[in-house]
Structure 1
């Protein structure tokens, strides 16, 4: 505990255990709520053509190219190409004119369809059915499309395209989620461009596939040959059937706060305990234009006090993110504490009026092994989070990720956390006997040896094992691609007195005994276990063209009334030809259940697809 002067007091409690893990100075920004583009009619769009319509539901058939089926209603924007001229549709422009923007939406592609979102009508993020693609190029889903110059030699006319880092796409007819952060080009008062636009980040189905892509000019097919501070969103409508919902945006069009008359004073000492340096002369002091830890030449046991003025041009609520590695800090604005005494990283928020407001920031460094650094970021109404500091030395200890690829069939044992699922203590559920199986087709899965359960499947890169092997590690790994989690794992097989009996929550009474696995000639496992007196072989294989996985379960001497729970979800809908749609996120296809009849049933507020087991069952998950 300590106090800084007779007029400025602050206290913090530092508690660092021997198991402390260094944190990054600047945490990820908290998402801001967006403004919805209404989809109850077409009034949000300028002069929409007849191929665009508002509907209440939409479906795609995997076997019908460029085709969406719709139902009447509202909430979904659909592009239905003219039947006689599939490429005769027109693009759609919003009435919204945007500069810097965060855009978030759901979209659904028809089979073999193609579309795109043009930021400011000029810079395209490609939307495409890339389900069967292993290595994306600039034409595939989530890519920043290429620029084009007819004057260049053949084979070089297209340039500066940026392919998605990995294929994180879902199958046609499944809803996909896209998040884009865009920074518009900058212009001076004479209208001359001073800075290129940038795609700051693109996230597809939870996977970051683009970061910090500079846009030197409009991409191919731009609606405008020039560049401007503002422009409309444009959705491509002349290439294929596509649907959208939940379109939201945050526009960043307000002026940033400015730090003025910034002064610093550096005091020598270990300001971790009670101390009063009200009459103590600083080691150094002066004026500066930026917050930085570099104003102190003392490597450890020092305190920097910044004072000045924060000029706020846009009143409203502001969020502050303070990083002070190896010590603690406090932030005051307008004579109010915004970030209370804290260590390493902290956040705070304040409602600020327009005007010049008193500013004070303190950073005490007293942990000798940490590198000094000072980071302060701010976000506010119409203002994207940005750093007010130089961040020099402020990121703490950087950790190189430990990545496991799967160029061949690959297996890894680890713990596996299940976000969204809770254990009996209310914490994130952890599968403790998980085996993750990777494939060169870039479709992977995790299996729970404790229950004979398929835990998750995913497309893209294999595993991030940094949490498992860095430093002391916690034994866990993380999937790196587009993940389809299949809920809290339960026994795949159980006895039911009737099709409506609750599924057994654990292995009690089942006689479940894991028997390991055997590998085939390609190093692909077949898991073996005993349950209810039967011997079970559980073989999971990647489907052709990486479209998903197929599971073949063989049960020798099955007991009577034995059932398999194939899938669970909030909503399961029966389609044609043994297909089921689960939560709009994956398909289940029944391939062979020896004549048994699958049943969709309600259970604890969810739905389950179950089937009686007569010896062998085969089904596929397509995603």
Structure 2
């Protein structure tokens, strides 16, 4: 179903994808395992860095100066500054990896270009793609193209993968990347049996790739286009200024446990913890190659008792998550309950060897399709699943796009703890959107990418909630934008007592953009928020009639607020920029508020500023 109107566009489409990463045959494994955060006090984790690479304590960038990073002395940040004085070269890790999870923060200078090469061969592009509406494989987060010089012009690049949407932030802001990479597989003779994969990649909290098969190395790979079971992590260093911190690696180089010798017995009746199944008469018995809820002849109100062996190759702490769809399940290892019946998961410290396993599945009735399976993860082992196929949620998602300026009222959850019940979300064709809290006169979030998913709001009975669909910038727990302070050190009030706050809705301009109106402290307020044409940010103009002499606006809060270029502030550990445009001569104040910082300013009638991220 597709429904279009002036202020909304609804589409219903099925999206569902399941990829279960099975255990492949790995003949060659890394010679040594390194998991954890790469120390950035020096270059001991890397091979022969060129002079363009530095270790710094802090770094920043200007939106106006291309390919420049400003650095401060210290440690903890890896910086590349190629230029005339120091020709940039790629940086290679000492460790070599196969299957790996990589998580890091990075910062691009304006107009800069870099990349992460898994095993030195498969590049995930890093680029200043701020404001790009339709990203390509060469944009930030893209899987770069393979290359063949023998092909005609325009066809040399092939098999590149663009990110699902542009989740990039502005130059000079920290961006967060998470990638799960699966190395190619080889048999005993060295023949490749399975291509490498990007199992999942997230940029700034948004999934940009899922289960992408890499048919071969991308352009510029090491080894002349060959493929290996292992290779170094490589950071491109010859194109532009870039910085990295919090580089965390998890290697998965240990053989997976095997669940073998599975024998089942099936019994009538619901699960009862007080009943000893071994003393009961079984309706059927047999053996299976893998777990299933459908062994035996019964279809409802039955119990399956499995006994078998878990072959553990590496001692350590293991995590187990059960799929007991249509009932419940329990797991015992070495006669100890690891996952109690009806719970989702548990952990156990296991020794290496053949360990006895007991698994019970209890079918509760006839609701839902019966399914049984278990996900296992452990030291050096990426989680894997064995058992019945997981049935994906087949709910047809309800998506709202913003091909024109679009407004939707709903509930909106902010973080994990707060629900805004009078939220107005405003979408734009520039792919930059925001949510306004009518109860506080506050912008509670700004995001870039797709607009809204409203499945929770409109599917079946619904709960009234919509979800932002792109990379989000939250602005803290909802608070009143305007407040009265007897002194600049008074705490910002969190409730409406004494404010006489009354929302007055909004009016639309000729482009269907809202200007919000409300009353507070006896004054009338108009609050006009506009998205910039380049999609880089929003501008906000607050106009107050006859403001009280002690009226202030709270512009931002965060763990850090740094003073940037003229009238610019960098907020919350370089998460976004706030640019003061016109305050009628009033001076902003950065102050302490518990363990956080606040940026406040006296209001003299009109106040305007922009937010860029």
TM-score (norm 1): 0.90
Distance in 2 (alpha carbons) for counterparts of 1:162 and 1:346: 35
Q: Which runs of 4+ in 1 moved over 6 A?
A: 24-28
CA deviations on 1:153-177 (whole Å, 9 max, x unpaired) are 3222211111111111110000111
CA contact (8 A) 1:26 1:322 kept: no
Distance in 2 (alpha carbons) for counterparts of 1:491 and 1:396: 41
Structure 2, gaps ≥5 residues long: 1-16, 22-33
SS at match of 1:481: strand
CA contact (8 A) 2:19 2:211 kept: no
1:285 deviates by: 2.4
CA deviations on 1:285-305 (whole Å, 9 max, x unpaired) are 222211122324433222222
1:539-578 to structure 2, matched below 5 A, reads: 539-578=528-567
Distance in 1 (alpha carbons) for counterparts of 2:346 and 2:66: 51
2:431 equivalent in structure 1? 442
1:16 equivalent in structure 2? none
2:455 equivalent in structure 1? 466
1:468 deviates by: 1.8
1:480 deviates by: 1.3
1:137 deviates by: 0.6
2:414 pairs, out of 414, 418, 429, with 418
1:19 equivalent in structure 2? none
User: Which moves more between the two structures, 299-308 or 351-360?
Assistant: 299-308
CA deviations on 1:46-84 (whole Å, 9 max, x unpaired) are 111111111111110000001111111111000011236
1:9 equivalent in structure 2? none
1:26 deviates by: 12
1:281 deviates by: 4.2
CA contact (8 A) 1:26 1:375 kept: no
Distance in 2 (alpha carbons) for counterparts of 1:340 and 1:271: 12
Count of aligned positions? 583
**Is it true that 1:611 corresponds to 2:601 in the alignment?**
yes
Distance in 1 (alpha carbons) for counterparts of 2:525 and 2:582: 17
CA contact (8 A) 1:90 1:238 kept: yes
CA contact (8 A) 1:102 1:249 kept: yes
CA contact (8 A) 1:371 1:396 kept: no
1:44-193 to structure 2, matched below 5 A, reads: 44-83=45-84, 88-193=87-192
**Is it true that 1:524 corresponds to 2:494 in the alignment?**
no
1:571 deviates by: 0.8
1:378 equivalent in structure 2? 376
CA deviations on 1:259-280 (whole Å, 9 max, x unpaired) are 2212222233344686565455
1:609 deviates by: 1.1
1:388 equivalent in structure 2? 386
Structure 1, gaps ≥5 residues long: 1-23, 421-427
2:354 equivalent in structure 1? 356
Distance in 2 (alpha carbons) for counterparts of 1:335 and 1:232: 42
**Is it true that 1:600 corresponds to 2:594 in the alignment?**
no
User: Which moves more between the two structures, 162-171 or 468-477?
Assistant: 468-477
CA contact (8 A) 1:182 1:199 kept: yes
**Is it true that 1:451 corresponds to 2:440 in the alignment?**
yes
1:493-508 to structure 2, matched below 5 A, reads: 493-508=482-497
Distance in 1 (alpha carbons) for counterparts of 2:262 and 2:593: 62
User: Which moves more between the two structures, 210-219 or 594-603?
Assistant: 594-603
1:250 to 1:277, Cα distance in 2 relative to 1, 3 A = closer
CA contact (8 A) 2:20 2:385 kept: no
Distance in 1 (alpha carbons) for counterparts of 2:226 and 2:362: 50
Distance in 2 (alpha carbons) for counterparts of 1:280 and 1:44: 60
1:207-356 to structure 2, matched below 5 A, reads: 207-224=206-223, 225-271=225-271, 278=278, 280-342=280-342, 346-356=344-354
CA contact (8 A) 1:25 1:325 kept: no
**Is it true that 1:513 corresponds to 2:478 in the alignment?**
no
SS at match of 2:340: strand
SS at match of 2:581: strand
CA contact (8 A) 1:339 1:346 kept: yes
1:306 deviates by: 1.4
Distance in 1 (alpha carbons) for counterparts of 2:351 and 2:279: 33
Distance in 2 (alpha carbons) for counterparts of 1:137 and 1:396: 29
TM-score (norm 2): 0.92
2:11 equivalent in structure 1? none
CA RMSD of aligned residues (A): 2.0
1:388 deviates by: 2.0
Distance in 1 (alpha carbons) for counterparts of 2:159 and 2:239: 22
Distance in 1 (alpha carbons) for counterparts of 2:441 and 2:475: 13
CA contact (8 A) 1:25 1:375 kept: no
SS at match of 1:468: helix
1:468-487 to structure 2, matched below 5 A, reads: 468-487=457-476
SS at match of 1:213: strand
Distance in 2 (alpha carbons) for counterparts of 1:27 and 1:261: 22
CA contact (8 A) 2:311 2:354 kept: yes
SS at match of 1:72: strand
CA deviations on 1:496-522 (whole Å, 9 max, x unpaired) are 122222212122111111111001111
